[in-house]
Amino acid sequence: MKAKVYVTLKPGVLDPQGKAIQHSVGLLGYDGVADVRQGKYFEIALDAGLDEARARETAERMARDVLSNPVIEDYRVEVE
């Protein structure tokens, strides 16, 4: 099974890296870019022996405890 984890900064948390990208693309001539926010993306391959519920639980736990900082970040998990 494969899990995808998306980690994003919570709304309101300053994202200097996103702001730097936004500023740069403005200088490069891209129009209409109102905001850029950068997050992280993880693809987790799980052993085929795990059923979907177990795979989701493992991925959720990893996302919460290891891959994100719950003080400033949100996460989203997809299992397929």
Contact positions toward a copy of itself, by CB under 8 A? 6-8, 18, 21, 24-25, 28, 30-47, 49-50, 54-55, 58, 61-62, 65-67
CA distances from 33 to 11, 16, 27 (A): 18, 16, 11
Which one, 59 or 71, has the nearer CB to a copy of itself? 59
The dihedral over CA atoms of 11, 14, 16, 22, expressed in degrees to the nearest 10, equals 50
Which one, 22 or 71, has the nearer CB to a copy of itself? 22
| Smallest gap from residue 77 Cβ to a copy of itself (A) | 13
User: For the chain, how long is the longest CA-to-CA vector?
Assistant: 50
| Smallest gap from residue 71 Cβ to a copy of itself (A) | 19
